[in-house]
Amino acid sequence: GTLVGQFTIGGMTCAACVNSVEGILIKLPGVRRAVVALATSLGEVEYDPTVISKDDIVIAIEDAGFEASLVQ
């Protein structure tokens, strides 16, 4: 099945940052869709929980130089 995770993403200041984060997310194994909004600093990610976890997604965003946390 597919789950949807919502993340707050800090450190994005332009549209290129948004494209960069979306590009990172969509390349992760198990991620099926990623939409990031600059105005709200929110990212929504559809993922296969048998392949990747929410924590893995947070770590991938942070490895790319942004701050990330789970929206509960």
Residues engaged in binding ligand 9UX (CB under 6 A): 13-14, 16-17
Residue with smaller CB distance to ligand 9UX, 18 or 60? 18
Angle at 55 between CA 51 and CA 61, to 5 degrees: 100
Residue with smaller CB distance to ligand 9UX, 14 or 72? 14
Closest CB 58 distance from ligand 9UX, rounded Å: 19
Closest CB 36 distance from ligand 9UX, rounded Å: 12
Distance, CA of 24 to chain centre: 8
Residue with smaller CB distance to ligand 9UX, 23 or 49? 23
Q: State how far the Cα of 9 lies from the Cα of 27, in Å rounded to an integer.
A: 17
